[in-house]
Amino acid sequence: MQQKILIIGFVWPEPNSSGAGTRMIQLIELFLEQQWEITFASAVADSEFMFDVTSIGVKKVAIALNDSSFDAFLKDLNPTIVLFDRFIVEEQFGWRVAENCPNALRILDTIDLHTLRLARQKASKERKKFQTSDLFSDTAKREIASILRCDISLLISEIEIEILQKNFKIDPKILYYLPFLVDTIDEKTIENFPKFHERKDFIFIGNFLHEPNWNAVQFLKESIWPFIHEQLPEVSLLIYGAYPSQKVFQLHKPDERFLVFGRADNAAEVVKKARIVLAPVRFGAGAKGKLIEAMQCGTPSIATTIGAESMHGNLPWNGIIADDAQDIAKAAIQLYQEEALWHEAQQNGIEIINQRYSKSLFGFDFINHILSIQGIIEQHRMDNFMGAILLHHTLSSTKYMSRWIEEKNKKLT
């Protein structure tokens, strides 16, 4: 059967801005390899840095929120698979998909478990230790409901699958682990990595619209970099990231070698030139795109426990894991100066990529999983009766709220 996929994006994908954008392009490329027909739709305005999906053979369609024109669009397209980019998108459009294309397989790409990230963020801001009870929030009610309404939910972190099964009693049959999908690092790639002595400085890179990144930069500036700068006064810390605000640029201090550059034209190039990636992420969820990119560039990293969470399995880390500010600083200085330790860390990163993120290990199995669920979709949905209940009530409530908003908007125009 020729598959016709509709991807409804929270935003237009920006692979040069965020890990989420990179993830979306990886999924699109995987579907294109199957010669499946893909339409990417979003209700947000075009952005300056969005990837032109039409350049790789994907149809691009602008859609509207709370507008029945989407129903007509759906019926005309008649997709066999609909992929929602984050639970917020499923909330907005899931009921319309279920009503107009009931046979379409509904897939939710969680990106990261928002429930976990926001609970950790709240605990961090309140300066208290994160507890499991923090998970049971209003966000969790919304996100878990969205997961239950979908046929398959993609998780990028094994820890998150464990949380969903253990704490929220989610049936593992509707969950699917799918990490970042990248190319294997071969010998030729390794030979082309800049050598230890050809690299200099530390680097942090991350989208500043993502709160964990802004918090990490503040942590670096206030608590970590002063200690490193005292020990390595000729070394700089380069801060890169998409969508920096004025408050980010106010941290730029050349006399302290704390340098804020904003968006990198080519993230991989600046990461390859650096000797070490610093990523002191104090809260968050999912897998960190910046740390995957570091490994792909042969650049060791200093990460926190949360930063490296679920990323390396039983393999040794691509550098050093530390959480306390002084421990992070000491680890960074040691890794920066000791070439043998640096080479060992680089090799660890190569092994992590090749054993845990290689597209060849996961892509084919995921495609087969989609096809197998499509083959038993009725039974699959009956086994997820709680999801059917939630979908029924969503159709009975969200549907009419959306219709009311649509009518109200008509009167205002």
Write the DSSP assignment of 248-303 as a string of letters.
Answer: HHTT-BGGGTEEEEES-SSHHHHHHH-SEEEE---S--S--HHHHHHHHTT--EEE
Total of domains in the chain: 2
More confident residue, 156 or 67: 156
324 and 344 together in one domain: yes
**What local confidence, expressed as pLDDT, does residue 394 receive?**
77
- Listed residue (136, 170, 146, 36) closest to 88, CA to CA: 146
Tokens of 147: 């997961």
**What local confidence, expressed as pLDDT, does residue 238 receive?**
98
269 and 230 together in one domain: yes
pLDDT, one tens digit per residue, over 250-279 is: 999 999 999 999 899 899 999 999 999 999
Q: Last residue of some domain: 321, 338, 356?
A: 356
Residues in the chain: 413
Report H helices in 338-384.
339-356, 359-375, 377-383
Give the mean pLDDT of the chain. Answer: 94
Task: Evaluate if residue 66 carries a pLDDT over 90.
Answer: no
pTM, 2 dp: 0.93
366 and 352 together in one domain: no
The answer for residues whose C-beta is within 8 angstroms of residue 386's C-beta and 6 or more apart is 148
Q: What is the DSSP string of 312-338?
A: STTSPPSEEE--SHHHHHHHHHHHHH-
Q: Last residue of some domain: 310, 328, 356?
A: 356
**What local confidence, expressed as pLDDT, does residue 76 receive?**
97
pLDDT, one tens digit per residue, over 198-220 is: 999 999 999 999 999 999 999 99
pLDDT, one tens digit per residue, over 115-171 is: 999 999 999 999 899 999 999 999 999 999 999 999 999 999 999 999 999 999 999
328 and 370 together in one domain: no
8 Å CB contact between 77 and 60: no
pLDDT, one tens digit per residue, over 306-328 is: 999 999 999 999 999 999 999 99
Give all strands of the β-sheet with 319-321 in edge-to-edge order.
258-262, 237-240, 202-205, 276-279, 301-303, 319-321
Task: Evaluate if residue 339 carries a pLDDT over 80.
Answer: yes
Q: Which amino acid is present at 8?
A: I
**What local confidence, expressed as pLDDT, does residue 413 receive?**
63
In a 13 Å sphere around the CA of 374, the CA atoms on its Cβ side amount to: 18
* DSSP bridge pairs for 42: 9, 62
* DSSP bridge pairs for 153: 108, 175
What's the average model confidence in pLDDT over 179-200? 97
62 and 13 together in one domain: yes
Share of the chain above pLDDT 70, in %: 95
Element of type H or E holding 400: helix 385-412
331 and 387 together in one domain: no
What is d(CA 297, CA 279) in angstroms, rounded to the nearest whole number?
15
8 Å CB contact between 307 and 288: yes
203 and 222 together in one domain: yes
278 and 205 together in one domain: yes
CA angle 359–360–366, rounded 5-degree value: 75
305 and 374 together in one domain: no
SS3 state of residue 239 = strand
42 and 72 together in one domain: yes
Task: Evaluate if residue 406 carries a pLDDT over 70.
Answer: no
Give the CATH number for residue 315.
Answer: 3.40.50.2000
What's the average model confidence in pLDDT over 280-290? 93
SS3 state of residue 20 = helix
Task: Evaluate if residue 403 carries a pLDDT over 70.
Answer: no
334 and 386 together in one domain: no
Task: Evaluate if residue 399 carries a pLDDT over 80.
Answer: no
Tokens of 80: 């066999």
Helices and strands: H and E segment counts in the chain? 17, 13
What is d(CA 83, CA 152) in angstroms, rounded to the nearest whole number?
9
What is d(CA 271, CA 232) in angstroms, rounded to the nearest whole number?
19
**What local confidence, expressed as pLDDT, does residue 17 receive?**
86
Question: Which residue is listed with tokens 């640029």?
Answer: 249
86 and 18 together in one domain: yes
Task: Evaluate if residue 404 carries a pLDDT over 80.
Answer: no
**What local confidence, expressed as pLDDT, does residue 258 receive?**
98
What is d(CA 28, CA 230) in angstroms, rounded to the nearest whole number?
46
**What local confidence, expressed as pLDDT, does residue 18 receive?**
86
Q: Last residue of some domain: 338, 356, 374?
A: 356
Share of the chain above pLDDT 90, in %: 90
What is the extent of the structural domain holding 228? 187-356
